[in-house]
Chains A and B, each alone.
Chain A
């Protein structure tokens, strides 16, 4: 009878100690290979695939229990849940809308920040308060006025370029005339070749005109126009417009050049007021205010070279 035999190691192959050593070494080798080289992943996966159904089977009772619980949920619970979810959804939708607006605003503010860093002059941020409702005027009101030391004549820019000019200052508001207004002229330079010119508003929201250029002027579609800074109002090198159409008709003395403004003159909510354009020296004729020593110095410096 098998069970009555004593445990005689040597009659039954290798001794227990030998087996222990053998299997221990085998285990350690496996451990080493697994921990160091990850060679055994495929073997592990094969065994895992074999035992996966069994493992699922053991998890089954718990899943069935949970599933049964949710299956027998009462109608009342469902209705209440549904109501709650609806409320939640409404609240979330409102928040989401708000967030989208905020995101757009944030993106624009970031770009503005970038503009401020590019420019050397200090800038003041302002929000658009109202837009003029008269379709013949291209004007808007911003929420910075005298209290923020805004002065008429300051340029207003956004991340794209020049938006317009402060034309009137109220205690808490300022009126900005957009570059597309018929009364506004901006001295510009063509980036490609440095031609100086003046661009005029056309009254149309998306058009500017480059007037008084000879028919043979070297201006092409796609040319970038930037402020020249020669008027003392706009800081130099701010983008203003891009040429979109050039008509050269020999019947007229001047070419008809149409440009599109680069700034979002009709888009954003936040604008920058360029607050301190470096003052230019006075014209020689107007000598009355030249008592400012600094200005004289500058004048001297400039005239030297």
Chain B
């Protein structure tokens, strides 16, 4: 059970607002990189992942409202319809909030399965809106769910590592 305790402590690591904002900013910038062709289809949804991370790890700080605002920004930068990403991210954040206790009980590999399901729901919302408005769905879009779920493990490691307090060099 020591392992579980350690994991709990991981979840309880502090996070400053600046750090949260910076993480979202980096995620958005990553999405803006010039992805093309197949790379674009395989592009992980960085914003969605970071959002999910904060929704599961800091549910009091990051919620549906922030997800929605973030979605609006992504909508503008992606030139998608207003509200398309916002809706998808709202659903994603809701999933993260509801499952946040449950997700904490699993290890990272098991978590990524949950993440896969949540992202699938969010991607589906996006695709359904697209289908309703534009009349077609590009199926390769859903490859992004797989790559995003695979990105969950490294992303969590990275963010946890950044949140962990630096060891004081003068410590004995």
Interface residues of A (CB under 8 A from B): 2-5, 7, 12, 16-17, 19-20, 23-24, 26-31, 33-35, 40, 43-44, 47-48, 51, 54-55, 57-59, 62
Contact = CB atoms under 8 A, between A and B. Distances in A.
Interface residues of B, number: 35
9 closest Cβ pairs, A-B complex = A30-B83, A27-B87, A27-B83, A34-B82, A31-B83, A20-B94, A23-B90, A47-B76, A58-B32
Nearest to B97: A16
A29 B72 CA distance: 13
Contacts of A62: 34
B60 A12 contact: yes
Interface string B79-98: 00111101100110010011
A20 B97 CA distance: 11
Contacts of A35: 81, 133
Interface stretch (B44-52, B61-69, B139-147): B61-69
Nearest to A35: B133
Contact residues of A: prevailing secondary structure: helix
A75 to B, nearest CB: 31
Contact of B71 (A27, A54, A55): A27
B68 A26 contact: yes
Given A16-B94, A58-B33, A29 B63 contact: no
A2 to B, nearest CB: 6
Given A16-B64, A27-B87, A58-B33, A40 B82 contact: yes
Contacts, number: 93
B159 to A, nearest CB: 15
A4 to B, nearest CB: 7
B82 A33 contact: yes
Nearest to A9: B97
B73 interface: yes
Contacts of A44: 76, 82
B71 to A, nearest CB: 7
Contact of B68 (A27, A48, A57): A27
A51 B75 CA distance: 12
Contacts of B97: 7, 16
Contacts of A48: 76-77
A16 B129 contact: no
B60 A23 contact: no
A3 B14 contact: yes
B131 to A, nearest CB: 12
B81 A34 contact: yes
A47 B33 CA distance: 18
A7 B94 contact: no
Contact of B34 (A5, A26, A34, A59): A59
Contact of B87 (A12, A16, A31): A31
Given A7-B59, A19-B63, A58-B29, A27 B86 contact: yes
